[in-house]
Amino acid sequence: MPTLATTVDGLKLPNPFVIGSGPPGTNGNVIGKAFDEGWGAVICKTLSLDASKVVNVQPRYARLRARDSNEIIGWENIELISDRSFDVWMEELKAVKDKYPEGVLIASVMEEYNKDAWVEIIERCEAVGIDAFELNFSCPHGLPERKMGAAMGENPEILEEVAGWVNAVATKPVWAKLTPNVTHIEDPARAAFRSGCEGVSAINTIRSVLGVDLETLRPEPSVEGYTTPGGYSCRAVMPIALRMVMELARVIRDEYPDRSLSGLGGIETGEDAAQFLLLGADTVQVCTGVMKFGYAMVKEMCDSLLAFMERHKFETIDDFRGHSLQYFTTHHDLVARQAAARAAKKAEHDAKKMIQADDQWSGDDFVDQSDALARG
């Protein structure tokens, strides 16, 4: 019987399924629910020291539906980080750790470009017993106006400096959550690794405009008739997330083999998760999927991931993690491989034809014909 249990950066997870930062980890109660349902780890909604500066609007979501089934396949949000008080958060996270000492609780944190603030948020989270950090360098909307989130993550130099402040004081593992809204996601990842981060997570949401209402002529989500570009998530983003995870996994394999990778973006099933793991992720996160299907979805995800492992006779996640990375190459190499494969096929075909031709002039047929010839 295979096992889903895995150890990443010293964190012991019963399975690789992690609640991604967002509404599913928005307070202590729901974090407890996630542990009750069997999630391998939980990352809380992103915290900052001064929640009074975080002002959300309504509505802040817009959804893209499939034409035939009406299923939600794309989700845009303009939600900010948590607008709940930091002191309340500290009480709740401490209570969660008291109740679930074995539960892996990861604090997602974000601050302005201010060393003292980053040091304070790390030290106060460690004091209540959290197990690891995820630095949110990637929220694409609202926070960049305060030079936070993606404003830092888009700039490897600033990311390296800020993550360096964190790594100088953190005694727990630190993951940097990266933005997909860059040309080469490998560059901020390398900056995070240089600064000492144990791992990276990818992807956060993709900057998007979900659509325009053809009755009102207003773009969505419409707040008093106006909008701002938001962050796109859900199933529709999975191919982009897989590509970026593959690129990050290659950086880790070739340059930083002791670092970890947490993959996310559109994951809803155990089969989705298996693909991220095959491309090199150590863990997988789910955010929008939990908003669509609820916390109990993790059971089905565990079952289908185990069924995949049984089918392929994999005993542990390490048996197949990163397996499919070897099948990526350049287009130039694909052309060469295809030419070689076609040449080999043609040679095989030609050889078969020659054998058939030989057969025609050998054995009984040949003797019969020579007899006929001899008879004239």
Ligand X SMILES: Cc1cc2nc3c(=O)[nH]c(=O)nc-3n(C[C@H](O)[C@H](O)[C@H](O)COP(=O)(O)O)c2cc1C
Question: Cβ of 239: how many Cβ atoms within 10 Å?
Answer: 12
Q: Which two tokens stand for residue 211?
A: 């659509």
> Which lies closer to ligand X via its Cβ, residue 264 or residue 305?
264
Compose the 303-342 pattern: x for residues touching ligand X by CB under 6 A, - for all others: ----------------------------------------
CA dihedral 261, 198, 51, 291 (to 10 degrees): 20
Pairing of strands 230-233, 260-264: unpaired
In terms of Cα–Cα distance, which of 200, 244, 270 is closest to 40?
Answer: 270
CB of residue 320 vs ligand X: minimum separation in angstroms? Answer: 22
Q: Is 44 an annotated catalytic residue?
A: no
22, 103, 144, 188: residue in contact with ligand X (rule CB under 6 A): 22
What is the residue-wise DSSP string for 263-286?
A: EESS--SHHHHHHHHHTT-SEEEE
Q: Using CB under 6 A, count the residues that bind ligand X.
A: 27
The answer to whether 244 and 202 are in contact (CB under 8 A) is: yes
Buried b (16+ CB within 10 A) or exposed e, 275-284: bbbbbbbbbb
14, 16, 23, 156: residue in contact with ligand X (rule CB under 6 A): 23
CA dihedral 36, 42, 48, 53 (to 10 degrees): -60
> Which lies closer to ligand X via its Cβ, residue 293 or residue 320?
293
> Which lies closer to ligand X via its Cβ, residue 2 or residue 117?
117
Locate the DSSP E strands across 276-321.
283-286
Distances (CA, A) of 97 to 35, 109, 132, 301: 11, 17, 12, 25
Element (H, E) at 65: strand 61-65
Is 262 near ligand X (CB under 6 A)? no
> Which lies closer to ligand X via its Cβ, residue 266 or residue 280?
266
- Per annotation, catalytic residue among 44, 139, 234, 287: 139
Is 152 near ligand X (CB under 6 A)? no
Of 77-85, 162-170, 303-311, 342-350, the window that binds ligand X (rule: CB under 6 A) is: 77-85
CB of residue 43 vs ligand X: minimum separation in angstroms? Answer: 8
Is 31 near ligand X (CB under 6 A)? no
With a CB cutoff of 8 Å and minimum separation 6, the contacts of 136 are 21, 46, 81, 108, 109, 110, 149, 177, 204
Compose the 175-194 pattern: x for residues touching ligand X by CB under 6 A, - for all others: --x-----------------
Element (H, E) at 343: helix 331-360
Query: Sign of torsion, CA 348 349 350 356?
Result: positive
Is 289 near ligand X (CB under 6 A)? yes
Is 21 near ligand X (CB under 6 A)? yes
CB of residue 59 vs ligand X: minimum separation in angstroms? Answer: 11
CB of residue 123 vs ligand X: minimum separation in angstroms? Answer: 21
CB of residue 46 vs ligand X: minimum separation in angstroms? Answer: 4
> Which lies closer to ligand X via its Cβ, residue 206 or residue 314?
206
Distance between CA atoms of 76 and 215, rounded to whole angstroms? 20
CB of residue 232 vs ligand X: minimum separation in angstroms? Answer: 8
Q: Which two tokens stand for residue 18?
A: 């992690």
Question: Coil, strand, or helix at residue 97?
Answer: helix
> Which lies closer to ligand X via its Cβ, residue 281 or residue 314?
281
Report the chain's C-alpha Rg in angstroms: 27
Element (H, E) at 296: none
Of 14-22, 87-95, 309-317, 321-329, the window that binds ligand X (rule: CB under 6 A) is: 14-22
> Which lies closer to ligand X via its Cβ, residue 54 or residue 251?
54
Which positions from 203 through 242 interact with ligand X, judged by CB under 6 A?
204-205, 233-234, 237
Environment class of 272 (CB within 10 Å of its CB; exposed 0-12, middle 13-18, buried 19+): buried
8, 31, 41, 81: residue in contact with ligand X (rule CB under 6 A): 81
Q: Residue numbers of the site for ligand X (CB under 6 A)?
A: 20-23, 45-46, 75, 77, 79, 81, 108, 136, 139, 177, 204-205, 233-234, 237, 264-267, 286-289
Residue numbers annotated as active site: 139
